[in-house]
Amino acid sequence: MREKTIAGRLAGYGLALRFETLPDNAVHETKRRYIDALGCALGASACPPVRAARSIAPEVASGAGVIGDYIRTTPDFAAFMNGIMVRYLDYNDTYLSLEPAHPSDNIPAALAAAGAAGRTGKDLITATVAAYEVQCRLCDAASLRARGFDHVTYGSFSSTLAAGLLLGLTRDEAVNALGIAGVASPALRQTRAGELSMWKGCAFANSARNSVFAAMLAKAGVTGPAPVFEGEFGFMKLISGPLKFGDFGGENGEGFRVLDTCIKYYPAEYHSQSAIGAAIELSREIEDVSFIKSVTVYTFRAAYEIIGSGKERWAPATRETADHSLPFCVGAALFDGNLDLATFSEERLTDAGLLALVANIKVVVDPELDKLYPEAMPNRVEVSLKSGETLVREVIYPKGHPRDPIADSELEEKFKNLAGSVLPESKVDRTLEMLWNLDSLKDVAGIFEILRG
C-alpha cells in the first residue's frame, strides 16, 4: 500500500532518477544553483546567527563539513549551519507559484548527506534535481501561507528525499523518513509577519537539519508514521488541503522545475526585484532625490501581502524586515541608484534622508499586474516630482527570471563578489572551476576542503 501513497510516489520518483537520464540543461542549471548558493553562503559566513550556531555546534572528528570553516560536526547540524548561510542574505534563488519558495535551501541538506556518505558530484546533482522537483511541485499544488503556514514546511519533504537518496535509503526507509520529517514539519507563517527576526534566515535551515536527522533515523531502522499525507490527521487534512500532482520532471517528457527557478540579481525578497530594477532606472533621470514629491509602487497582490503592507515596512528596525520591505527597497534604489548588501547596514536603516523618502512611498495593488503573477513578476514605479513632472518605469520580468536570465559570466561575478570577502582570489577561481565540473567530482567532501576560509 505504501507505494500508492504520495510519500511512496515521492520516494519511488527519487530512487528512479538517474544522472545519465538528466538533460544537459537541467545539469547545467543545477551547477549554476550551486555556484549561486555557495556564493551566498560564503558571503554570510560571519553573520550573527551562524556565529551563534557555531558556538553550540557539536564538534566531531570525522563528521560533515561547514562552509568556510575548519569545524566538522554532525550531518544534521552541518545542514543547519550551512542552511543559515545560504539563506541569510536573502540572495539565493526563488520559485514562484501558489506558494513561493527558495529551492536552493535544499542544497545544505544534500551537501551534508553527500559529504557524510562519500557521494560523487553526479549523485549530488541527481538528488538536488529531485529535491527541486518535489518542493516546486508541492508549491504548485497548494498555498501554505494562505493557511498560516510557512513555505519551509514543504521543504521538509524535499530535503528529506535528497538526504535519503544520498544516504542510500531503500524505498521503505525513504517513506519512513518522509513520515518522520513530515509529521514534525509544520512551521508557522509568523516567521515572516510583522518585524522580522534572524529566524527568517534560520527557518529552512531548521527544516534541513530535521530532514537529515529523519533520514539518518530511517537508515538506522526507525519507522515513521504513514500515510503522512493522506492520514486521518495527516498533512492534507490539517495543513495543505488536497494535493494533486501531474507528471514530475523526466516523466513522459515533462521538463524539470530547476529550469523554472529564478536567480536573484539584488539581495532582497524576490517580489521586489522588478520594482528595484525600475527604481534604479528612474534614479538616473532624477538629479536629486529632494526633487521627489511622492512615489507610488503599483504591484500584484502577493507582493503587497508579503512585502508591501504593515507599518514595519516603512520603518524597518532589522535587516530582515528591510530586505522584505517593498517601500524600503524602492526608496533605497531611488536614493542610491543601486541596491546591494550595504543597503541593509545599520547606517542605512537609520538614515534620516532615506527614511523620509520611504515615508512618501505608497504601495497599491494593480489588478492588471496581478493577472500576470506568478508567470511574471510585474511592478511599476511612478515618481511624482515637485516640478509637476511624472516619471514611470514598469518591469515585468526582472533580471534573473527565466525570461531574462543571468548569464554565466554574471553569475560568476556575483560569486566572486560574495566569496572574495572570505577566500583568496586563487581559491575563488578554483572553486568556480570545481563547481562548473561538479559532475566530475569523485567525493563531495572536496567542496568543503576548498571552501575553507
What are the CA-CA distances from residue 420 to residues 158, 339, 345, 354, 452 (Å)?
31, 19, 19, 29, 12
Q: What tens digit of pLDDT does each residue of 143-158 get? A: 999 999 999 999 999 9
- Decide: 46 and 418 in contact? Cβ < 8 Å: no
Q: What percent of the chain lies above the pLDDT cut of 70?
A: 99
Could you tell me if 146 and 230 lie in one domain?
yes
pLDDT at 453: 67
In a domain, 301, yes or no: yes
In a domain, 244, yes or no: yes
C-alpha cell at 400: 534573473
In a domain, 406, yes or no: no
Q: Which residue has the cell 501531474?
A: 246
In a domain, 418, yes or no: yes
Tell me the pairing of strands 361-365 and 379-385.
unpaired
pLDDT (average), residues 73-99: 97
Could you tell me if 163 and 79 lie in one domain?
yes
In a domain, 160, yes or no: yes
C-alpha cell at 426: 586563487
Could you tell me if 188 and 217 lie in one domain?
yes
In a domain, 409, yes or no: no
C-alpha cell at 216: 539518518
- Decide: 366 and 299 in contact? Cβ < 8 Å: yes
Provide the pLDDT confidence category of residue 134 given band limits of 50, 70 and 90: very high
Could you tell me if 253 and 277 lie in one domain?
no
Could you tell me if 139 and 160 lie in one domain?
yes
Could you tell me if 363 and 422 lie in one domain?
no
- What range does the domain containing 285 cover? 270-395
Could you tell me if 47 and 156 lie in one domain?
yes
Could you tell me if 258 and 274 lie in one domain?
no
In a domain, 125, yes or no: yes
∠ Cα 87 50 320 (to 5°): 50
Q: What tens digit of pLDDT does each residue of 425-435 get? A: 999 999 999 99
Tell me the pairing of strands 292-299 and 361-365.
parallel
Q: What are phi and psi of 92, to 5 degrees?
A: -90, 175
Could you tell me if 192 and 239 lie in one domain?
yes
Measured distance CA(143)–CA(99) in Å, rounded? 5
In a domain, 404, yes or no: no
CATH of residue 126's domain is 1.10.4100.10
Could you tell me if 419 and 359 lie in one domain?
no
Domain count within the chain: 2
Could you tell me if 161 and 224 lie in one domain?
yes
**Mean pLDDT over each residue of the chain, to the nearest integer:** 96
pLDDT (average), residues 167-171: 98
Q: Which of 136, 109, 133, 93 is nearest to 208 (CA)?
A: 109
* Chain centre distance of CA 58: 26
pLDDT at 71: 87
pLDDT at 2: 59
CATH of residue 292's domain is 3.30.1330.120
> What does DSSP assign to residue 145?
G
pLDDT at 3: 63
Could you tell me if 40 and 14 lie in one domain?
yes
